[in-house]
Amino acid sequence: MTTPYETLNGKIALVTGGSRGIGAATALRLAREGADVAVTYVNGKDAAEEVVRGVEALGRRAVALRADSADADEAAGAVALTAERLGGLDVLVNNVGVGVLGPLESLSLADVDRVLAVNVRGVFLASRAAASRMTAGGRIITIGTCMTQRVPGPGGTLYATSKSALIGLTKALARELGPRGITANIVHPGPIDTDLNPADGPYAPDQAAMTALGRFGTAEEVASTVAHLARADYVTGAEFAVDGGHAA
């Protein structure tokens, strides 16, 4: 049996896709709780470096790593780079993801391949690489979507398919890694106010109306749940909806 973390002091975390939105909020929240943090990015170098400065301002170490999760070597390589630059890995947050929405007939093979490469294969490879380095107390936390619980309209087939695969991955990881004291959980955000899906955007009123609370969530609200799971010990193989009641 391991002991739950009261804080994350001395822990090392990797947040994939951590340059903006939920990823950036998560990196900063983990740092506030004491963790050193690595974040990955593909095109958002300036934004990632801003997150690094924010983590450092909290008195923690940080590093920004360019890694495209669609590339098999880079997906796993980000874990190795984190361990090399920061001295290990205790918490992996699989946040990176891409969404291609549209009617079935509009989705190209290239769309299918990229979404599955980033959202499924990349998460699998990063989790496998992390598990090989983690000791008892390791945490793997994956960001899913409310669309695995309820798909409110057409156009989300490919995205929902890719994120639903992560539920099975999470439960299987929990079973396989549990004997080693490593937990695996998945968080399903609902409509969250980010640059890609702003709360004042053209589709926001309809999305907000689908929640029980009638509003968008914030990236910080999702990050709070991730931080809890990074500390929790007797929670694994579980799904957590941070969706304002979208699936109610």
Instruction: Encode pLDDT of 107-155 as tens digits.
Output: 999 999 999 999 999 999 999 999 999 999 999 999 999 989 888 888 8
Task: Give pLDDT, residue 5.
Answer: 54
* CA angle 206–23–198, rounded 5-degree value: 25
The 3 state secondary structure assigned to 53-121 is HHHHHCCCCEEEEECCCCCHHHHHHHHHHHHHHHCCCCEEEECCCCCCCCCHHHCCHHHHHHHHHHHHH
3-state secondary structure of 184: strand
13 beta partners: 37, 91
CA distance linking residue 33 with residue 10, whole number of Å: 10
Q: What is the dihedral of CA 145, 83, 68, 190, to 10 degrees?
A: 10
The position carrying tokens 């390791």 is: 138
Position 39 pLDDT exceeds 60 = yes
Distance of CA 109 to the CA centre of its chain: 25
188 beta partners: 241
* pTM assigned to the model: 0.94
| CATH assignment, 12-241 | 3.40.50.720
CA distance linking residue 174 with residue 220, whole number of Å: 26
Q: Report the share of the chain in percent with pLDDT over 90.
A: 87
Domain boundaries, the chain: 12-241
Average pLDDT, the chain: 94
Arithmetic mean of pLDDT, 57-71: 97
Amino acid at 240: F
Contact 17, 23 (CB under 8 A): yes
Arithmetic mean of pLDDT, 156-177: 96
Active centre residues (catalytic): 159
Task: Give pLDDT, residue 143.
Answer: 98
CA distance linking residue 96 with residue 55, whole number of Å: 19
Could you report the per-residue pLDDT of 75-86, keeping only the tens digit for each? 999 999 999 999
Where residue 55 falls among pLDDT bands split at 50, 70, 90? very high
In the chain, the N- to C-terminal Cα span, in Å, equals: 35
Q: Report the share of the chain in percent with pLDDT over 70.
A: 98
CA distance linking residue 205 with residue 215, whole number of Å: 8
Position 215 pLDDT exceeds 70 = yes
CA distance linking residue 24 with residue 220, whole number of Å: 9
Task: Give pLDDT, residue 13.
Answer: 98
